[in-house]
Amino acid sequence: MSNFQIDKGRVKIGKYSLSNLALAEVAATVLFFVLTIVLGWSAYKDARTYFAWNGALKTYSSNLDPSADLETVAKNRPEFAPAHELRAKIFVNSGDVNSARSECDILQRLDPNNEAATVTSGIILLKTYDKTKQEPLLNQAKALFASASASADAKVGLGHVLMRQGDLEGSWKSFEAALTTDPPCSLDGMTDLYIGQAAIHVKRGNASAAREAFEKAMFMAPSWDRGYANKAYLLARQMAESPVLDREKFKQAAQVWTDFATQFGNLYNQNKDARAYFKDAFVTYMDAFGCLALRSLDVGAASGKLNLLRGMDSISKRPTLNYLATLAQVVYHPSLTIDERRLYLTELYTVANRSFADHKDLSPRDKAVVHQLIAVRYAIDKTDLNAGVREADKALDEYSSCGEEPHLKAMILRVKAACLWSSKEYANQADKAGLAQKAVEAAEESLRAEPQPDLDEWLKTIKNK
- Backbone dihedral region of 403: left (phi > 0), alpha (psi from -120 to 50 degrees) or beta? left
Cβ 225 vs Cβ 274: under 8 Å: yes
Residue 11 DSSP one-character state: E
For 99-123, what is the mean pLDDT? 78
Higher pLDDT, 29 or 376: 376
pLDDT band at 16 (very low <50, low <70, confident <90, very high): very low
The Cα–Cα gap between 63 and 84 comes to 18
pLDDT for 93 beyond 80? no
Indicate the pTM of the whole model: 0.55
User: pLDDT over 90 for what percent of the chain?
Assistant: 12
User: What is the model's pLDDT at position 41?
Assistant: 46
Most confident of 210-224, 227-241, 363-377: 363-377
In one-letter notation, the amino acid at residue 59 is T
Most confident of 44-58, 64-78, 266-280, 377-391: 377-391
CB atoms within 10 A of CB 198: 24
User: What is the model's pLDDT at position 39?
Assistant: 43
The Cα–Cα gap between 269 and 156 comes to 32
pLDDT for 388 beyond 90? yes
Output the CA–CA distances (angstroms, integers) from residue 426 to 93, 249, 393, in the order listed: 68, 42, 20
Higher pLDDT, 143 or 403: 143
pLDDT band at 391 (very low <50, low <70, confident <90, very high): very high
Sheet of 4-7, strand order: 4-7, 10-13, 16-19
| 175-184: long-range contacts, CB 8 A cutoff, minimum separation 24 | 175/200, 178/152, 178/153, 179/152, 181/150, 181/151, 181/152, 181/155, 182/152, 183/152, 184/152
Q: For the segment 342-362, what is each residue's pLDDT rounded down to a tens digit?
A: 888 888 899 899 889 888 888
Higher pLDDT, 163 or 271: 163
User: What is the model's pLDDT at position 21?
Assistant: 47
The closest of 101, 75, 73, 72 to 88, measured between CA atoms, is 101
Residue 405 DSSP one-character state: -
Most confident of 100-109, 318-327, 422-431, 438-447: 438-447
pLDDT for 23 beyond 80? no
Most confident of 11-20, 275-284, 304-313: 304-313
Output the CA–CA distances (angstroms, integers) from residue 210 to 50, 95, 207, in the order listed: 41, 25, 5
Cβ 383 vs Cβ 391: under 8 Å: no
pLDDT for 442 beyond 50? yes
Cβ 294 vs Cβ 301: under 8 Å: no
Higher pLDDT, 368 or 316: 368
The Cα–Cα gap between 265 and 275 comes to 10
pLDDT for 88 beyond 90? no
Mean residue pLDDT of the chain comes to: 77
| Helix, strand counts (H, E) of the chain | 21, 3
Cβ 169 vs Cβ 163: under 8 Å: no
Q: For the segment 132-147, what is each residue's pLDDT rounded down to a tens digit?
A: 778 888 888 888 888 8
For 255-273, what is the mean pLDDT? 69
User: pLDDT over 70 for what percent of the chain?
Assistant: 73
The Cα–Cα gap between 117 and 103 comes to 8
User: What is the model's pLDDT at position 65?
Assistant: 65
User: What is the model's pLDDT at position 396?
Assistant: 93
pLDDT band at 38 (very low <50, low <70, confident <90, very high): very low
The closest of 436, 456, 457 to 447, measured between CA atoms, is 456
The Cα–Cα gap between 87 and 109 comes to 16
pLDDT for 164 beyond 70? yes
CB atoms within 10 A of CB 173: 15
User: What is the model's pLDDT at position 150?
Assistant: 84
The Cα–Cα gap between 429 and 10 comes to 146
Q: For the segment 418-430, what is each residue's pLDDT rounded down to a tens digit?
A: 999 998 888 888 8
3-state SS class at 18: strand
pLDDT band at 4 (very low <50, low <70, confident <90, very high): very low
User: What is the model's pLDDT at position 57?
Assistant: 64
The Cα–Cα gap between 222 and 215 comes to 9
For 93-112, what is the mean pLDDT? 76
pLDDT for 368 beyond 90? yes
Residues contacting 57, CB < 8 A, separation 6+: 66, 86
Residues contacting 169, CB < 8 A, separation 6+: none
